[in-house]
Chain A
Amino acid sequence: QVQLQESGPGLVKPSETLSLTCAVSGYSISSGYYWGWIRQPPGKGLEWIGSIYHSGNTYYNPSLKSRVTISVDTSKNQFSLKVTSVTAADTAVYYCARLVRLHFDYWGQGTLVTVSS
């Protein structure tokens, strides 16, 4: 069974960098598929942030591209997200998920990140 688990600080100060990691178990990232990050502001809908292949090839949401970096560490079977210059608008539950062709089949439980001083 594929499992994903997000981890990282739950509170980030404005203008600082948000950093999250997604640990994958039950499947080797090196075996294939894309891996993605999706976020959901409180009371709002889902927003795709970006996706990465095990080779490091990435796709980013154009609206976030200037502030987002997604990287992969195949030796640890995990991938990571960095969002720079955060504001209150970046407060959200952040999910990691496996992207199979055009759908996300396995999701993490999500982690709430609050941007506040």
Chain B
Amino acid sequence: QSVLTQPPSVSAAPGHNVTISCSGSSSNIGNNYVSWYQQLPGTGPKLLIFDNTKRPSEIPDRFSGSKSGTSATLGITGLQTGDEAEYYCETWDSSLSAGDVVFGGGTKLTVL
């Protein structure tokens, strides 16, 4: 049971847009930056978004991140079949110690 809550799955058709939510609390998302990772089938995680809204240079601008209060959202526009993957949010949580990394449970994106 993760302290960050994500929907288990989302789906949309190619070319459409989708959002994935990540809900937390004041001890994690509310007071820290959020990152997002993409994990394609059979591969390791890849950084998509960091510091809530920033993209590494190689990530296309179809991917975007936002944060409001204790929730964060990953947006993907113009869905492609290659976007079908598991997506994870991540941040720090200070409720138990000086700072622990926490991940969301993951969201499986299906491009119909």
Contact = CB atoms under 8 A, between A and B. Distances in A.
Contacts of B106: 45-46
Interface residues of A, number: 23
Given A59-B98, A62-B100, A103 B35 contact: yes
Given A45-B2, A45-B105, A107-B44, A102 B97 contact: no
Interface size class of B (residues with CB under 8 A): 20 to 34
Contacts of B40: none
Interface of A: 36, 38, 45-48, 51, 59, 61-62, 93, 95, 99-105, 107-110
15 contacts: A36-B101, A48-B102, A59-B100, A61-B101, A62-B96, A100-B50, A101-B33, A101-B51, A102-B35, A102-B50, A102-B91, A103-B51, A104-B37, A104-B90, A105-B50
